[in-house]
Amino acid sequence: MPAQVNEGLATLSDQLILATVLLYLAAMICFALELAFGRVRTAAAAARRRPVAVGAGAPASLPEEAAADARPGPEPAAWAVRAGTVAVVLSWIAWAGNLAGILTRGLAVDRWPWGNMYEFVVAICFAAVSAFLVLLTRQPIRFLGAFVTVTAALGLGFAVLFLHVQAGPVMPALHSYWIAIHVTAAIVASGLFILAGVCAILYLIRKDGQASALPTRDVLERVTHRAIVISFPIWTFAVIAGAMWADRAWGRYWGWDPKEVWAFVTWIVYAAYLHARATAGWRGTAAIVVSLVAFGCLLFNLVGVNIFISGLHSYADVPK
């Protein structure tokens, strides 16, 4: 018997996601104002905070970038600094709205709320913002706020405009506890990979030797690496859990289905990034480019395979 849909909760979920898009955009604007007018952060500023070794004389001259940054400039605007605090508050409110939209969607159909492409993208946006907010409590990464929130807003907007389907039951293959294990792990890992991808793109945008509100390239590379180090084992678990689910559903662990292939390709490229960085000492642009190739594979696996390639995983329920 088909599952009954609570239309009231389903409608509420759609409204919450729309409100979340607006809240993410408002947070993005506040983060951008702080970044532009209230957070003057450069490599030279960090260099001036480094302690000088005992007995070492002061350097005769600063490096070129430090010398440029050492020139007096306008004080950050107080209102812009306050805008950053407002942005964090708005991000948490939007995060709560995103979570409420996911929960009400699941309660409306009495199942895990990531059984189609629309629900999956909504959950990934939530995971990306969650990763940012959690890391923000431990690391000074508020500079990422504008970029993460605009990414989440665009992702949710894309889901609402092009992927939205009415809440309803899913095909029998998805009625399994493995969806709570495999898909949840993939969502969490994808959220962290998105955070790393945003940092990697900013690394390429950030130019050495120029004053910027963005942190140094070293900081951006370090945040990128840490996010990938955390997410890679989670993605590994998701791939293994997917193979175990495939054995239960189709009687084999691996069948070279397009989704399986691209999940494995993504794993291989991220593994290559970590291996090159740990053993060959790759740093800087070369490592960042490899991480972005891996990020491109991830995006194609999450979106492109479901939309453009048919296979055993073609149950994303994408509107035609």
Question: Could you give the count of Cα atoms lying within 13 Å of 274 in the half-sphere of its Cβ?
Answer: 15
177: helix, strand or coil: coil
- Read off the tokens for 276: 């090159």
Helices (H), the chain: 7-37, 43-49, 64-70, 78-109, 117-136, 145-158, 178, 184-205, 217-250, 258-279, 285-299, 305-308
Question: Could you give the count of Cα atoms lying within 13 Å of 57 in the half-sphere of its Cβ?
Answer: 3
- Read off the tokens for 2: 């088909």
**Where in the chain are the domains?**
7-43+79-308
Q: pLDDT (tens digit, 9 = 90+) per residue, 86-116?
A: 999 999 999 999 999 999 999 999 888 988 8
Question: Could you give the count of Cα atoms lying within 13 Å of 169 in the half-sphere of its Cβ?
Answer: 9
What CA–CA distance (Å, rounded) separates 209 from 69?
9
Distance of CA 69 to the CA centre of its chain: 31
Taking only the tens of pLDDT, the chain with its 320 residues reads 346 889 999 999 999 999 999 999 999 999 999 988 875 544 344 444 444 444 444 444 333 333 344 444 456 677 777 899 999 999 999 999 999 999 999 999 988 898 888 999 999 999 999 999 999 998 889 999 999 999 999 999 999 999 888 888 877 777 788 888 999 999 999 999 999 999 999 999 988 766 678 888 899 999 999 999 999 999 999 999 999 988 887 788 888 888 889 999 999 999 999 999 888 778 888 999 999 999 999 999 888 887 777 655 555 556 65
What CA–CA distance (Å, rounded) separates 139 from 150?
20
Cβ proximity of 122 and 159 under 8 Å: yes
What CA–CA distance (Å, rounded) separates 213 from 224?
18
CA distances from residue 69 to 182, 212, 291 in whole angstroms, order as listed: 48, 9, 30
Sequence-distant (6+) residues with CB within 8 A of 301 are 259, 262, 263, 265, 266
Is the full-model pTM beyond 0.75?
A: yes
